[in-house]
Amino acid sequence: MFCGKKKSLEVERIVKANDREYNEKFLYKDNRIHTSKYSILTFLPINLFEQFQRVANAYFLFLLILQLIPEISSLTWFTTIVPLVLVVTMTAVKDATDDYFRHKSDNQVNNRQSEVLIDSKLQNEKWMNVKVGDIIKLENNQFVAADLLLLSSSEPHGLCYIETAELDGETNLKVRHALSVTSELGADISRLAKFDGIVVCEAPNNKLDKFTGVLSWNGSKHSLNNEKIILRGCVLRNTSWCFGMVIFAGPDTKLMQNSGKTKFKRTSIDRLMNTLVLWIFGFLICLGTILAIGNSIWENQVGDQFRTFLFWNEREKNSVFSGFLTFWSYIIILNTVVPISLYVSVEVIRLGHSYFINWDRKMYYSRKATPAEARTTTLNEELGQIEYVFSDKTGTLTQNIMTFKKCSINGRIYGEVRDDWGQKTDMTKKKETMGFSVSPQADRTFQFFDHHLMESIELGDPKVHEFLRLLALCHTVMSEENSAGELIYQVQSPDEGALVTAAKNLGFIFKSRTPETITIEELGTLVTYQLLAFLDFNNFRKRMSVIVRNPEGQIKLYSKGADTILFERLHPSNEDLLTLTSDHLSEFAGEGLRTLAIAYRDLDDKYFREWHKMLEDANTTTDERDERIAGLYEEIERDLMLLGATAVEDKLQDGVIETVTSLSLANIKIWVLTGDKQETAINIGYACNMLTDDMNDVFIIAGNTATEVREELRKAKENLFGRNRSFSNGHVVFEKKQSLELDSVVEETVTGDYALIINGHSLAHALESDVKNDLLELACMCKTVVCCRVTPLQKAQVVELVKKYRNAVTLAIGDGANDVSMIKSAHIGVGISGQEGLQAVLASDYSFAQFRYLQRLLLVHGRWSYVRMCKFLCYFFYKNFAFTLVHFWFGFFCGFSAQTVYDQWFITLFNIVYTSLPVLAMGIFDQIALDTSYWTVINHVFIWGSIATYFSILFTMHSNGIFGIFPNQFPFVGNARHSLTQKCIWLVILLTTVASVMPVVAFRFLKVDLFPTLSDQIRQWQKAQKKARPLRTRKPQTRRSSSRRSGYAFAHQEGYGELITSGKNMRAKNPPPMSGLEKTLYNSTSWIENLCKKTTDTVSSFSQDKTVKL
């Protein structure tokens, strides 16, 4: 059974719909996922193999074997085997517990329900039972169970909308569409059950943006691309239902292909302990050799006098052989310098630190009742050594919530709150939010604090009305009413949703649209505008426009976009307003808000008809069609009249700015790795203070080829090093292309703050072997690095690059499935339990609900764990060297005969019982310098408790009762009782204690007085503060305005304009006759192909625009 069929390497995949028997012969994997490391059968061998990879465990196993040899064993075997079994068992139980929770998490995902078409009817099936070739029904807001070929949907023409936040971090919706031949199947279960199409496609891979395949059905073939596929991890949005055919399942899905493998993570303390064990073993060999030589000499010179008493025969005794046996005997006796209890204590301390993280109320998120969780107990001290943090953006730094915050209309800012003295103040919950009483459909959650805007609306300010009218008309939003009669907006990007919702709450309500009209409610009056043209958004234009005719017959062009683009197209009469609005935009950008400029133009009827005729001609041509259309768009979008600007907040999570600042002060470098657009990522970088106007330079790498990327990196390095004269001598390690190791002196020589921003397609070239040297050199010199449009695999590659060549401890933090591979690759993986599912949490080592808790995790728990562990190791080795080297000293008095000073029970219990509690207390509870300041209850209990335990066991072992039960093991009857009645014994104990403690106390006193550490200085400052009066808190200062010209960022996708004007995404309701333009677009067979092409080319085309100015 187990050696039967073995699946060969898959070259292409052949899948037949509704035929499990046919598909099973290819041995495709099912939809079950595994993030756990062990199974019931593999746990014991794999776990033991991992544990005995530790040098210490192997070392103690070797000692155990030696103790089983009677000729050399001076200690019984139980002194080693009991602690060894205890350590191995405790570690195995801990690993089994960790893996149990991974199994539990896997089961939660695998047991999710989905509707599967089986035997001509829909049945609820667990995700893990879904097979390749099955047809699945998805409903709105459901996660996609596997990689599906979209067959049909509730939307016209087989369209559906998906959110890919878990794949690429983007929250804007994307369009997928079914083939026309399958979209006709609709929701007819009988027809879907008879569907027997065969798909031949690419083998499973990790490319999220590419798919190639062919569907054969009813004697015809249809090509498939990425626009026909819905990937696992996506969420169905704004679509009532859809049906899909499973192409890839479980580990073969593109999401899981990007997840990476679970790696066995080991801390630097573990590696240090392995090294220490090797050095100490070498030290023991030296001691054993010295004592063995001493034994041979002693046997040769003095031992003859004792042979008569020991009944040795001359031929049986050889001084060299005696020395050989003595060597191994002393190796056994002196092995307690590294006792196995060290590893028991380390695991106990780590477990305690993990519980401190789990119990930390300051890391508990009350809104979702989510505590912090240490999902592994072996990496705590590594948290205190983090040098690089790799962070996702969407959902990690931000909340995925867009909020309309401010606007500038006709040179006046609305949205600022001022106090009674006219000074700007922060918005607080005490302020009354603004609502528009005329609109019963206003969103009650909308918050706007400036009542002057409502006054301007009520007074009939024409510029304000025109501004809000533009927000209600110029967009791609779709509207529908739910069962309760409430207006629901289906938004393609969260930015548009925020703007249209703001207009709705201010009295200009977008009601509905058809391919030819847009209906809005203006202050209670329904007004229908004729839609004449839609000039769609793309990354070259950075703007979108609509041309409408109002009921009075006037033709108007409304446009919104990046200020750097629109300001160049304004009429010269706008000069004064342009200057004022630019200042407002700089102020908005300085506050981290996403800005758009708003403008309009009145069009002459004759001019528009001529322009429209040229547009129709351009749409029908085959030569340079896109270029001609773009030129016509440029022609009409000129001489615009400026209305103002909007400012939308991509709301940061609470405490992000403070956390980033604190981590930067701790010399931790933060790299942002996001799948989002460059402008959006830059905007968030400024909002988080990772990018600032005080930086010396911001390098943007956006080349499309390896040559371009190499050249841009070279220029950036020249720019950076040209500002530092110390590099002019040519003695720089960067000339050595063979080595990627960076000299720390170089980093210290570079002065100033720099930032690097690089696109995903440029990063793909930069990660090549001959270019990544330059990338790493430049990136490590920068204070902040932002990687945009990166795939999940590229995130992991960046982390691996820093891990491998910088030899630095790394941490990756994210909240979505697109962050899993990065989390697994880093030394420490942190998952945020946010709005994008639990995949990141399941793959992480630590999890919590908010990014701000990272500061406490690293700077409090991480630092304390590292300091405590280091102190613990120092004390542990100190006490064990002091305990063990007595045998070395005693060897010179016992003829090097490998006799022990202590009895075997004392040796066995010394580390496990007598001295374990004090060092454990310090290792678990010590808070920096607590042990030098005062004793807590814990100190008293553990220290006096250890002493009491010692005397209790001592009197018990030397009692008559235990001797009567085990006479051979406990022969020292009454020894302790008689010895401790002697006054000289107590005098020796007292003198020894004082002689041992006084030098340490004196040394610490002098050190604190003459060379105080930072902790000592803080403690003295705190004592002084208690005596002094408390300081008055200063009023927080407002943030200065930014020198950046633009804070433009717009998460929009090209192609929605054609969808709207063609009517392809609208349900048919007796559509009115179409105008010429709409007929042209509707009858164009290439509109959907254009959408696919433009969507695919968005990333590559954007990089060619190098006009972004920071």
What is the amino acid identity at position 845?
Answer: D
* Contact present, 243 and 135 (Cβ < 8 Å): yes
Query: String of b and e for 644-654 (b: at least 16 CB within 10 Å)?
Result: bbbbbbbbbbe
In three-state secondary structure terms, 973 is: coil
3-class DSSP state of 555: strand
Residue with token string 């008559």: 960
H/E segment holding residue 645: strand 641-652
- Give the CA angle between residues 274, 278, 279 to the nearest 5°: 115
d(Cα 600, Cα 880) in Å, to the nearest integer?
82
Q: Which of 147, 392, 495, 676 is catalytic?
A: 392
Q: Which residue in 791, 848, 849 sits closest to 820, CA to CA?
A: 791
What single letter denotes the amino acid at residue 572? P
* Count of beta carbons in the 10 Å neighbourhood of residue 774: 19
What is the three-class DSSP state of 687? helix
DSSP string, 443-505: -TT-----HHHHHHHHTT-HHHHHHHHHHHHSS--EEEE-TTS-EEEE-SSHHHHHHHHHHHH
Q: Scanning the structure block, which residue is given the tokens 């067979």? A: 1085
Enumerate the H helices of 892-936 as residue ranges.
904-909, 916-925, 930-933
| Token couple for 140 | 């709105």
Q: Which of 390, 362, 457 is nearest to 830 (CA)?
A: 390
Per the annotation, the verdict on 392 as an active-site residue is yes
- Contacts from 48-56 at CB under 8 Å and sequence distance 24+? 48/88, 48/92, 50/95, 50/264, 51/88, 51/91, 51/92, 54/270, 54/274, 54/343, 55/274, 55/277, 55/278, 56/273, 56/274, 56/277, 56/338, 56/340, 56/342, 56/343
Place of tokens 């939809």: 31
Task: Please name which of 844, 505, 537, 817 lies closest in space to residue 679, comparing C-alpha atoms.
Answer: 537
Q: Which helix (H) or strand (E) holds 986?
A: helix 983-1010
Beta strands in 926-1063 (DSSP E): none
Q: Cα 678 vs. chain centroid, distance in angstroms?
A: 19
**What crossing angle do the helices spanning 863-891 and 341-359 adopt, rounded to 10°?**
160
> Burial level of 703, CB count in 10 A (0-12/13-18/19+)?
buried
Structure tokens at 815: 């909240």
How far apart, in whole angstroms, are the C-alpha atoms of residue 462 and residue 409? 11
255: phi then psi, degrees, rounded to nearest 5: -65, -50
Closest CA to 392 of 843, 1045, 1047: 843
Residue 1037, CA distances (Å) to 418, 425, 428, 659 in order: 15, 10, 16, 18
Reference 842, options 43, 107, 38; nearest CA is 107
Q: Which residue has the tokens 């191994």?
A: 328
Between CA 351 and CA 380 the distance in angstroms is: 9
Long-range contacts of the stretch 658-665 (C-beta < 8 A, 24+) = 658/852, 658/855, 659/851, 659/852, 659/854, 659/855, 660/688, 660/689, 660/690, 661/689, 662/855, 662/859, 663/389, 663/854, 663/855, 663/858, 663/859, 664/783
Catalytic residues: 392
